[in-house]
Structure formats: C-alpha cells, structure tokens
Chains A and B, each alone.
Chain A
C-alpha cells in the first residue's frame, strides 16, 4: 500500500544546531516533493519544492534533498532558532495530474 512517513512525531534540538527531518515514501513515484511549515492554529505554509531530477535545493537556512532511489527526502534547518519551532509536513504528488499527499508531520522544538 502507499505510505508516507516522517521520521518522528517530535524532535527536540538545541538552538544553533542543525535539525534534520526525514520523509520516506513507499509505492509512489512523485515528480516532485514539497515541504510545509505549520504553526499551531494556522494553515500550512509552503517552504520548498524539489523536483525528481534535482538532488538538492536551498533557501536561506533551509536545505532539502531528494533521493528517488531511497524514496526519501531530508529537510535540514541550519543554525536553528526557537522561532523555527513548528510542525513540518512533507507532501508529494501522487502522480501525473494527481493530488498532493501529505505526511503526518514532525513537530520540531528548538530549545534555547
């Protein structure tokens, strides 16, 4: 069956360290994968999109990798700050002309 998993429900790290979040999928062949941030009581906000032919994408302190062989995406936040504390969702397209499918999310807490 098709499944999207994110490495853990919650992740605590110390301020200044690099946070690494994992998104694994099975039985999908996505053309691209996206990462979103969600704060409590708010809707998800788009962060980054990476296509299947791209290995890595960067935006300021954020970096995303996409390995279609491992069926995995890694999301890194370098020099993390307490303001980075939020839930991070990965989403992939279910195939050509298909809808987004979201992972369950990882709740990141950056401790001062």
Chain B
C-alpha cells in the first residue's frame, strides 16, 4: 500500500517549456487534488476531481490542466511554464464521503519545481 505517489521529486524547467507532474494513489479514493505551496501563503488548490472523468478548477487554475481517466491517476500539466509557477506541488487524495463530505487527505511527498 504505497498511498499517494508523486513524480518527479525535483524538476527545473525553462520558461515556456511544458511538463506533466504525475500522481497516483492506490487507496481507491474518489477525490484527488493538486495544491501548490508557497512561503507564507499556505496550500492553494489548483484543480480537483471527485471521480474519473470529472475535474474542476480550484483557487489558482491558470496555466495548469488536469485529466482524470482512471480512479488511480491524476496528472497535472503545465502548459507553458513561467517563473511564477516556481513552487512546491502536492497531490492529495481522500474519500469523498457520504453527503459529499470530504475527509482527511493523504498527501504525496511533493514536487519542487523551479522555472528559470
């Protein structure tokens, strides 16, 4: 039982490049999400999904795309990297409980992204 697995752990991109951050979970959680964490700003929600084929925007979605073709995987795509996207990215999953009550989240180890 690996939990939430993110790859890569570190990445350096040049401005304008694109890349995909991978996230996989093996807990059969319906809900998956991507956050970015910046100093002094806490975790901010980028995109989320409540099940396969369903995605929606969070607080800071611009410049990012997601898809959810399976319950297990939720990749985050940076379309054209910008220095403002330098951050630590976390993927999380949780059980989307009865009454659509979100429960405790399980986080991946994070991806530290630098855009130069």
Contacts and interface: CB of A to CB of B under 8 A. Distances in A.
Partners in one complex: yes
Contact of B104 (A41, A46, A105): A46
B27 to A, nearest CB: 13
Interface string B89-106: 010100000011111111
Interface in B1-46: 4, 33, 35, 40-45
Nearest to B100: A97
Contact of B107 (A4, A45, A49, A93): A45
Given A41-B110, A42-B109, A99-B58, A104 B40 contact: yes
B74 interface: no
Interface string A6-47: 000100000000000000000000011010100001111110
State which size class the interface on B falls in.
20 to 34
Contact of B45 (A46, A100, A104): A100
Nearest to B42: A104
Interface of A: 4, 9, 31-32, 34, 36, 41-46, 49, 89, 91, 93, 96-105
13 contacts: A4-B42, A36-B105, A42-B109, A42-B110, A43-B4, A43-B92, A43-B109, A44-B105, A46-B106, A91-B43, A99-B33, A99-B48, A102-B43
